Chain A
């Protein structure tokens, strides 16, 4: 059912983990639908310098999170915001049709983490001004 690229990422997921002092955290999915992903980002000069994640989900969900973590590391935030689930699916050599939704999950989690980063940054700037 899964191709070799997907199986490789599933068997040896890259960049698994939690960043305790992350600049942005994004969580999507829930246990009911069977997939849940949390992405942690470190950002420097509008660039993603580190990306880690935790994933509860099937083989495809784990492979997607691993691939996404590799795709976004070192990229400018703007570039990442332009990535689509199709890009992830293509990089994985295509997901089985019923698993296509898993690729959304990875991209959505990262974009949510970026929004979180931006919100925190805006908040910090505001508090800096207030001082």
Chain B
């Protein structure tokens, strides 16, 4: 059995960068003070919290006081949406059908409390239809929440165009940007977002730490009451090792962005081309241009995603799928469904998310294995046989 592993699931989580880990370690047992304490131990902890806040603010072009640390993407999305809902009398929220469950379920939870939800339609490439937004906004609309980079098919949403509309209508714009921040240039001023969710473990930082960007002057109420940390908006003792790690991950992302983005994008495009050329009937989902640098999302008709995933895992490759069988609820991905993907294609979907550690040789080896696995599983698929017989009859 092959021992070498190739990790192609960087959209799920990334490996903590060695430099990040080293930066975190002293904050466990050396500078272990509570960042709210006034003694030296506390000051050391406080300093790293503020240093990290600055790093993140620089990475996304925000002001440090606009950054609130949270436990990660899920909390940030809950905080943004529920926090705003509690601070306003407006009762209408617009989101998209391809959001992460941390946004969708949060919005649905508010709908059960009496909020009205509307969904901005998307096209079959997985991009929201900006032109539909204006007519959906009513005087009762509080918020539009649209993600920046889709976690499944990798599409980059037109936030800047959406913000021109939300601004002119006096509606707030939130974006779940956990897939994008640290992996591509993100500028809150340029995008025009009022709130933005960030997660460290999506860009080589630790799990369990994230942040919410909240534009100055935006009123939102806290979810967690307690010791009034983070300007009273997010109570809870500072997770200093996590925050230190997030800060370091931001610093590295900022330094290496110019090298990283073109390199990963080139690998991605090479992988896409090789798949399309070497695997019959393979189909790439999403948009080829407006795409996260590391995202490849494909469909292989006649085979099922979980079977593909397990075979690839056996061959040493870690990938992900949106097939129904792999999901705990046995339903196909809501993203592929919203994109009106053919059901056969949705069942045979695979997500390959490239990261910093992936190399050209990994891509080449993967395509070879994928071609073999696809051939093998199609060979035993009654659907494949039926389609070939259909061809013969034509």
Contacts and interface: CB of A to CB of B under 8 A. Distances in A.
B196 to A, nearest CB: 35
Contact of B382 (A7, A27, A34, A98): A27
Interface residues of B, number: 25
Contacts, number: 65
Contacts of A35: 304, 325
Contact of B383 (A16, A31, A60): A31
Interface stretch (B221-229, B273-281, B306-314, B359-367): B306-314
Q: Which 6 A-B pairs have the closest CB atoms?
A: A58-B325, A58-B306, A54-B382, A38-B382, A34-B324, A56-B381
A10 B325 CA distance: 15
Interface of A: 7, 10-11, 13, 16, 18, 27, 31-38, 54-62, 98-99
B314 A98 contact: no
Contacts of B325: 34-35, 57-58, 60-61, 99
A37 B304 contact: no
B382 A36 contact: yes
B382 A58 contact: no
A112 B372 CA distance: 32
B314 A56 contact: no
B191 to A, nearest CB: 38
B303 interface: yes
B216 to A, nearest CB: 47
23 contacts: A10-B307, A13-B380, A16-B379, A16-B380, A31-B344, A32-B343, A34-B324, A34-B347, A35-B325, A36-B382, A38-B382, A55-B380, A55-B382, A56-B303, A56-B384, A57-B307, A58-B307, A58-B325, A59-B307, A60-B325, A62-B380, A98-B330, A99-B325
Contacts of B382: 27, 36-38, 54-56
* Residue of A13, A31, A54 contacting most chain B CB atoms (<10 Å): A31
A55 B344 CA distance: 14
A61 B328 CA distance: 15
Interface of B: 302-307, 310, 314, 323-326, 328, 330, 332, 343-344, 347, 379-385
A38 B384 CA distance: 12
B307 A34 contact: no
* Residue of A11, A18, A34, A61 contacting most chain B CB atoms (<10 Å): A34
Nearest to A62: B307
B324 A33 contact: yes
B347 A31 contact: yes
A65 to B, nearest CB: 9
B310 A59 contact: yes
A98 B323 contact: no
A27 B385 CA distance: 13
Nearest to A32: B343
Contacts of B381: 36, 54-56
A56 B343 CA distance: 13
Contacts of B306: 58-59
B304 A57 contact: yes
Contacts of B324: 33-34
A54 B388 CA distance: 14
A55 B383 CA distance: 8
Contacts of B344: 31
Given A36-B382, A58-B307, 7 more contacts: A16-B380, A35-B304, A56-B382, A58-B326, A59-B310, A61-B304, A98-B328
A57 B343 CA distance: 13
